[in-house]
């Protein structure tokens, strides 16, 4: 879906020819003097409509309104959070617009954050998975015009200060890139494991490398063995699908400037290995590459925005299968760092592929590195599906990630990393075990990873509760693309470095052809994936 930003008042928006006009309404809207504001005031006074976030009123055949259909959307206080709720609730209207164009109008003075929330929520509501559903009908809506007074008419260029009240145009541009990145992440997360193998993930990375500023290198089994990634190889050895170690580079900053490294867990399907998971909901283990999918999504957005920063993306991709060659509980492997690991639970595999990728990341001498992983069921129990768990010994990095998550409405919560949590990782037969029991499982998993980062500023995002939804709404969420993107943009050197002109076309997503989850997470494995 295409987005367009127009500096339209409510009075002007009603004259815009479209199939659907959505009007975001607050109490302030009802005090306006135009015809639509007057209508809102009457509806509120009559008790037919409330301005609370999520409330709706459909209207038809309004005189002097060019749209075939009008829907009033209560936007509460007009905050970004309330706007997101309002637009998310209009998903059915957007999907059933019956035509190619809709207009989303703000009936109040709007901020850049609210505009961004509307864009991301609309894109989310209109997403439709079709890759393995050849009979599925694509969403008819092709274009959504965002009508906001105070917006620049210059289509959201970050350098355009004139007329861009509240940074609306700049926020719009970032939101569109974020939405496209999230769509790419969702699409790859949603694909069944036989349509998203390690080799196919590598192909997706190669596709991104066709965009300006991005390069890609794919390491196969022989190269990974040469690097000494014994922990990563141990996870992959039970599968007939060969592993891939994906290395992406976005070079937008000064040559030689230290990059930020993103490491995404890429377990394309997780059976648990010899420590086999229960059958119930095992199909959801296709989502165990949610960290990898988010890295792909971030690079999609970076290619579109072209910020002045260097970023490296690393994805250790493999399956975790219980084949005849699979690693066994009690086996000891040697990681790339030289540290030995006793594999006490083969279902704690994510930390094994990540630890070697983190060791590899050090060669780039990064200013910071962040790993992203659907790592532990314990984190789902602790935080549910609202906030991702965030672990970091760096107060500065932790603060930056928290602020980025808040700005993107993709929040995280800082968790502890006390040294005592690492005591349970002691082993009689190796430098460490890969698990430390059920208690504090999300923390002990992070403590395991911390042993491979040295003095580099590092954070671990456990997205086991936020990367996908279960139940009737089962599917990937695209999180935490928003959090990561906002963090990277805030990290641009001097905070003011201009974006490079000439944004390229986006990479298209692959074309078509619950309570129970939390219960399972509590009952089983130390690792969600």
* Helix 168-190, helix 481-490: angle, nearest 10: 140
**Residue 363 neighbours by CB distance under 10 Å:** 9
Angle at 242 between CA 480 and CA 316, to 5 degrees: 30
The pLDDT of residue 152: 62
- Determine the Cα–Cα distance for residues 206 and 185; give it in Å rounded to an integer: 15
ω before 480 within 30° of 0 (cis)?
Answer: yes
Domain 2-178 falls in which CATH fold?
3.40.220
CA distance 246 to 398: 26
Quick one: pLDDT at residue 493? Answer: 58
The domains spanning 2-178 and 204-495 adopt the same CATH topology = no
Which are the contacts of 94, defined by CB distance < 8 A and separation ≥ 6?
Answer: 20, 22, 102, 122, 125, 126, 139, 141, 144
pLDDT number for residue 96: 82
Pick the CATH number of 204-495 from 3.40.50.300, 2.60.120.10, 3.40.630.10, 3.10.100.10: 3.40.630.10
Question: CA 324 to CA 347: how far, in whole Å?
Answer: 16
Note down pLDDT in tens along the chain; length 529 residues: 899 999 998 889 999 999 999 999 998 887 777 778 888 888 999 999 999 999 999 998 888 889 989 999 999 999 999 999 999 999 989 988 666 899 999 999 999 999 999 999 999 999 999 999 988 887 889 999 999 987 764 444 434 444 566 799 999 999 999 999 999 999 999 999 999 999 999 999 999 999 999 999 999 999 999 999 999 999 999 999 999 999 999 999 999 999 999 999 999 999 999 999 999 999 999 999 999 999 999 999 999 999 999 999 999 999 999 999 999 999 999 999 999 999 999 999 999 999 999 999 999 999 999 999 999 999 999 999 999 999 999 999 999 999 999 999 999 999 999 999 999 999 999 999 999 999 999 999 999 999 999 999 999 999 999 999 999 999 999 999 999 999 999 999 533 333 444 444 444 444 444 444 434 443 434 454 4
Measure the CA–CA gap between 283 and 287, rounded to whole angstroms.
9
Rounded CA separation 519/524 (Å): 9
pLDDT at 27: 86
pLDDT at 527: 54
Strands 244-251 and 310-320, bridge-based pairing = antiparallel
Domain boundaries, the chain: 2-178, 204-495
3-class DSSP assignment, residue 64:
coil
Write the DSSP assignment of 381-428 as a string of letters: HHHTTTSEEEE-S-HHHHHHHHHHHHHTT--EEE----GGGGGGG--S
CB atoms under 10 Å from CB of 331, counted, come to 16
Catalytic residue status for 277: yes
Q: CA nearest 184: which of 104, 248, 243?
A: 248
Is 143 an annotated catalytic residue?
Answer: no
Q: What Å distances lie between residue 138 and 1, 189, 508, 513, CA to CA? A: 11, 19, 14, 11
Q: Is the separation of the CB atoms in 385 and 465 below 8 Å?
A: yes
Q: Which residues contact 514 (CB under 8 A, 6 or more apart)?
A: 469, 470, 471
Catalytic residue among 351, 387, 447, 479: 351
Among 101, 165, 265, 277, which one carries the catalytic annotation?
Answer: 277
- DSSP code, position 282: G
State the pTM of this model.
0.92
Distance from the first to the final alpha carbon of the chain: 32
């Amino acid at each position: 879906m295409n987005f367009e930003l127009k500096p339209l008042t409510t009075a002007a928006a009603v004259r815009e020819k479209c199939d659907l006009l959505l009007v975001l309404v607050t109490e302030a809207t009802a005090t306006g003097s135009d015809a639509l504001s007057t209508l809102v005031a009457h509806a509120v006074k009559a008790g037919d409509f409330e301005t609370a976030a999520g409330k709706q009123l459909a209207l038809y055949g309004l005189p002097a309104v060019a749209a075939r259909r009008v829907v009033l959307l209560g936007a509460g206080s007009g905050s970004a959070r309330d706007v997101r709720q309002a637009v998310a609730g209009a998903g059915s209207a957007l999907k059933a617009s019956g035509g190619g164009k809709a207009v989303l109008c703000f009936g109040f003075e709007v901020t850049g954050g609210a505009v961004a929330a509307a864009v991301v929520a609309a894109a989310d509501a209109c997403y439709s998975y079709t890759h393995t559903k050849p009979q599925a009908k694509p969403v008819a809506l092709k274009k959504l015009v965002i009508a906001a007074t105070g917006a620049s008419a210059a289509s959201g260029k970050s350098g355009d200060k004139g007329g861009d009240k509240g940074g609306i145009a700049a926020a719009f541009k970032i939101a569109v890139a974020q939405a496209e990145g999230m769509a790419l992440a969702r699409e790859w997360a949603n694909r069944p494991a036989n349509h998203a193998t390690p080799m196919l993930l590598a192909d997706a990375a190669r596709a991104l490398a066709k965009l300006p500023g991005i390069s890609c290198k794919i390491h196969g089994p022989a190269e990974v063995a040469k690097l000494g990634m014994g922990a990563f190889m141990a996870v992959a050895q039970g599968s007939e699908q060969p592993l891939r170690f994906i290395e992406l580079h976005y070079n937008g900053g000064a040559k030689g400037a230290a990059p930020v490294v993103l490491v995404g867990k890429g377990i394309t399907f997780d059976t648990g290995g010899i420590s086999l998971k229960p059958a119930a909901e095992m199909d959801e283990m296709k989502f165990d590459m949610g960290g990898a999918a988010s890295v792909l999504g971030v690079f999609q957005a970076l290619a579109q925005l072209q910020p002045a920063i260097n970023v490296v993306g690393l994805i250790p991709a493999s399956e975790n299968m219980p084949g005849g060659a699979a690693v066994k509980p009690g086996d000891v492997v040697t990681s790339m760092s030289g540290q030995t690991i006793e594999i006490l639970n083969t279902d704690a595999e994510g930390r094994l592929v990540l630890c070697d990728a983190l060791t590899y990341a050090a060669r780039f001498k990064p200013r910071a590195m962040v790993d992203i992983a659907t790592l532990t069921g314990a984190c789902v129990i602790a935080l549910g599906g609202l906030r991702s768990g965030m672990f970091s010994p760096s107060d500065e990095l932790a603060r930056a990630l928290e602020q980025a998550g808040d700005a993107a409405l993709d929040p995280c919560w800082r968790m502890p990393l006390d040294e005592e949590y690492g005591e349970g990782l002691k082993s009689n037969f190796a430098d460490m075990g890969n698990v430390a029991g059920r208690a504090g499982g999300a923390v002990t998993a992070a403590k395991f990873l911390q042993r491979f980062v040295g003095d580099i500023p590092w954070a671990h995002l456990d997205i086991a509760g936020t990367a996908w939804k279960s139940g009737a709404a089962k599917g990937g969420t695209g999180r935490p693309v928003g959090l990561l993107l906002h963090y990277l943009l805030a990290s641009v050197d001097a905070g003011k470095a201009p974006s490079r002109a000439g944004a390229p076309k986006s990479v298209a997503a692959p074309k078509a052809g619950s309570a129970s989850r939390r219960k399972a997470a509590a009952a089983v494995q130390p690792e969600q994936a």
